[in-house]
Chains A and B, each alone.
Chain A
Amino acid sequence: MAEPLLDVRALSKRFAGSGDGVFAVKEASFTLQRGETMGLVGESGCGKSTLARLLLNLIIPDQGSVVIDGTVFTGAPRRAQRKLRRRVQIVFQDALSSLNPRMTVGVNIAEPMRLQGLGTATERRAAVRALLDLVGLRAGDSERYPHEFSGGQCQRIAIARALILRPDIVVFDEAVSALDVSIRAQILRLMLDLQQRFGLAYLFISHDLGVVRRVSDRIAVMYLGRIVELGPAEELCRAPLHPYTAALLRAIPIADPRRMRVNDLGLTEGEAARPDKRMPGCAFQPRCAQRLPRCAHEPPALATLSTGRSVACFLHSSADHSTGLTRSDVP
């Protein structure tokens, strides 16, 4: 495989707090190829937004690094960092609050270009016009203010702003979560069209595995700061390896009363522990129906199986067996 466009190497970030503080992200590693979409899924507090901010160098990791196209982004000299920053952009959940309310839409969209010192005012205006057209808004909208637009339209504006520097990678952090179903489909379609057109790589972060499955080539599942499973989207959803991935999938209500009623919803013991709680073993182990004695003492590392899929779970550890089979196959 070619050198990845994005290489995330063992990122860890701890926030100060009582005791040992809070491990928001622990040893997260993955790669992203040009034109690929990686879905990052997990429940609230699992560290997915912190991971996004680490990728963008908006916060500095305690350990690990982010490498873009062979160049280290983390801790790079200012000038290099500034240039690399053009290549990764982000779209947030709440589009309206991510836009400056006192700037017109046109100025908002052009702002990254201005901050990077790129183009003349005329060139920036032309770029804004082209982008508005691209995201399905009118050229005249550039003179209006963000509050005049609906949630879905604001998300289009935020996408236009993310694209003005012609990035290679766009991070979508719960970017469609606040939108109604009919609008969500519009924005997802726009994202997929833009990706095809420009060969963009996406990191699509969401708590909603259904949506993640729809748009992603591969999916990484996070639980309490760690990536616990990573693999091709369809395989991961069809035959999850990690008990937590399986629990997530079973808990999603299917929009078909013939396929699922409330008594078919899978129930998982307990709730996620607070991330500041010290846990020597696997973080999911207290809720896991398949836990082994060692799970309480040793944290399983994310290991790649012979199938190419990765999972952090002793049920699939290569020490027991190397093919990623189910527990009943373990002697």
Chain B
Amino acid sequence: MSSADDVVLEVRDLRTRFGAAHGGIVAVDGLTLQLRRGCTTALVGESGSGKSATALSIMRLIDPPGAIIGGSVRYDGRDLLSLDEIAMRHVRGARIGMIFQDPLTSLNPALSIGGQIAETILAHETVQRGVALQRAVALLERVGIDHAASRAADYPHHFSGGMRQRVLIATAIACNPEIIIADEPTTALDVTVQAKVLRLLHDLQQEMQASLLLITHDLGVVATMADDVAVMYAGRIVEYADVDSIFHRPRHPYTQALLGCMAGIEDDRQAPLEPIAGAPPDLRALPPGCRFAPRCTQALGSCQQQEPALQRLSATHHAACLRLDAMVDG
């Protein structure tokens, strides 16, 4: 998508399996993605498309018997997938911060929030506990918690959902990471609270010049936040482009259909509701050829025989569709 020097992290041909080698499913199947410095990449798709599995794979948090079964994650001159666990721990939480959807379950209910943030700092840096606690207060202030010094002693249940998400953001940025991965960070929040959390994430990311990998199913959030967008379907990226191209020149029939659904729902009462027929495939019984072909209104005969690869359409636009291959070749 861009010159090599602004690429902070590069995922190549990532394959991740959930469950055992026999009977498991391949949740991410050959995913390639680059995160650029100071930019936001949105990973968008419907449930089960492999968005969260991608995030967990980058952080190497796949529980056995599930496993990462192929590919590489290049960061800082190394492949994260080949690091030993101790080296990985220095990356996870410090170089790459992570924010999950549900802040209540990702916070420790028995520890004050100041204590939790300090613990993250202490896990990665050799500073005194008092210093770490002071930094925790400063971080809480930075994410917009009023009376941070006194609120640092409060426990997660004392905070509203939106405030908890701010606490989680403070934890994620505690060690000044180069990359922030946020998995549906505002999905559980009310829309007025979501707006503020999105703005906060954006401001922090700009200030720190961090790369943000934003995982969401919400096309509105994608349009307002992203620089680059990767659209996932059934474990694969089907289209990968700059945000303007995704919304104004989508080339993959799935992206087009998804935007069509949204326009019908959100924009125009008179516009017809155009659902995508059917449902995403069962990853245990994938259709032959293109995974979207059974639901695609533009499918060719060959779509059911051949799985399309991501094709470069321009410097910033890639899509995986056989119809485009025909155009590129011709």
Contact of B276 with A by CB under 8 A: yes
How far is the CB of A151 from the nearest CB of chain B, in Å? 8
Residues of B within 8 A of A186 (CB): 275-277
How far is the CB of A216 from the nearest CB of chain B, in Å? 9
- Whether the pair B191, A183 counts as a contact (CB closer than 8 A) is no
Residues of A within 8 A of B196 (CB): 267-268
Give the contacting residue for B192; candidates A150, A248, A256; CB below 8 A: A248
Instruction: Provide the bound-state CA to CA distance between A233 and B265, in Å.
Output: 14
- Whether the pair B266, A185 counts as a contact (CB closer than 8 A) is no
Contact of B124 with A by CB under 8 A: no
Residues of A within 8 A of B223 (CB): 253-257, 260
How far is the CB of B143 from the nearest CB of chain A, in Å? 14
Given contacts A251-B194, A252-B191, A268-B192, contact A185 B275 (CB under 8 A): yes
- Whether the pair A266, B195 counts as a contact (CB closer than 8 A) is yes
| B160, closest chain A residue (CB) | A271
Residues of A within 8 A of B257 (CB): 182
Residues of A within 8 A of B202 (CB): 262-263
Stretch at the interface among B6-14, B242-250, B306-314: B242-250
- Whether the pair B276, A258 counts as a contact (CB closer than 8 A) is no
Contact of B172 with A by CB under 8 A: no
Residues of A within 8 A of B269 (CB): 213-214, 233-234
Contact of B46 with A by CB under 8 A: yes
Stretch at the interface among A23-31, A139-147, A203-211: A203-211
Contact of B218 with A by CB under 8 A: yes
Residues of A within 8 A of B266 (CB): 210-211, 213-214, 254-255
Contact of A180 with B by CB under 8 A: yes
How far is the CB of A319 from the nearest CB of chain B, in Å? 29
Contact of B279 with A by CB under 8 A: yes
How far is the CB of A124 from the nearest CB of chain B, in Å? 29
| A45, closest chain B residue (CB) | B190
| A287, closest chain B residue (CB) | B192
21 contacts between A and B (CB under 8 A): A43-B190, A44-B190, A180-B46, A180-B47, A182-B46, A185-B264, A186-B277, A213-B266, A214-B264, A233-B269, A251-B191, A251-B194, A253-B220, A253-B221, A255-B220, A258-B247, A262-B199, A263-B199, A266-B195, A271-B162, A272-B190
Instruction: Provide the bound-state CA to CA distance between A184 and B263, in Å.
Output: 12
- Whether the pair A184, B225 counts as a contact (CB closer than 8 A) is no
- Whether the pair A185, B276 counts as a contact (CB closer than 8 A) is yes
Give the contacting residue for B199; candidates A189, A255, A265; CB below 8 A: A265
Residues of B within 8 A of A260 (CB): 223-224
Contact of A2 with B by CB under 8 A: no
Contact of B217 with A by CB under 8 A: yes
Residue total for B at the interface (Cβ-Cβ under 8 A): 46
Contact of A127 with B by CB under 8 A: no
Residues of A within 8 A of B226 (CB): 257
Tell me the B211-251 residues at the A interface (CB within 8 Å). 217-226, 243-244, 247-248
Give the contacting residue for B275; candidates A44, A183, A233, A267; CB below 8 A: A183
Give the contacting residue for B265; candidates A185, A250, A272; CB below 8 A: A185
The chain B residues found within 8 Å of chain A, CB to CB, are: 46-47, 160-163, 190-196, 198-199, 202, 217-226, 243-244, 247-248, 257-259, 261-266, 269, 273-277, 279
How far is the CB of A223 from the nearest CB of chain B, in Å? 11
- Whether the pair A189, B247 counts as a contact (CB closer than 8 A) is no
Interface Cβ pair total, 8 Å cutoff? 136
Contact of A261 with B by CB under 8 A: yes
| A192, closest chain B residue (CB) | B273
Tell me the A222-249 residues at the B interface (CB within 8 Å). 233-234, 247-248
- Whether the pair B273, A189 counts as a contact (CB closer than 8 A) is yes
Residues of B within 8 A of A84 (CB): none
How far is the CB of B187 from the nearest CB of chain A, in Å? 11
| B282, closest chain A residue (CB) | A150
Residues of B within 8 A of A183 (CB): 46, 275, 279
- Whether the pair A181, B191 counts as a contact (CB closer than 8 A) is no
Contact of A133 with B by CB under 8 A: no
- Whether the pair B192, A257 counts as a contact (CB closer than 8 A) is no
Contact with B along A250-291 (1 / 0, CB 8 A): 111111111011111111100110000000000000000000
How far is the CB of A204 from the nearest CB of chain B, in Å? 13
Instruction: Provide the bound-state CA to CA distance between A256 and B259, in Å.
Output: 10
- Whether the pair A181, B258 counts as a contact (CB closer than 8 A) is yes
- Whether the pair B276, A207 counts as a contact (CB closer than 8 A) is no
Instruction: Name which of A247, A254, A257 has the most chain B CB atoms within 10 A of its CB.
Output: A257
Residues of B within 8 A of A184 (CB): 261, 265, 275
Residues of A within 8 A of B258 (CB): 181-182
- Whether the pair B191, A209 counts as a contact (CB closer than 8 A) is yes
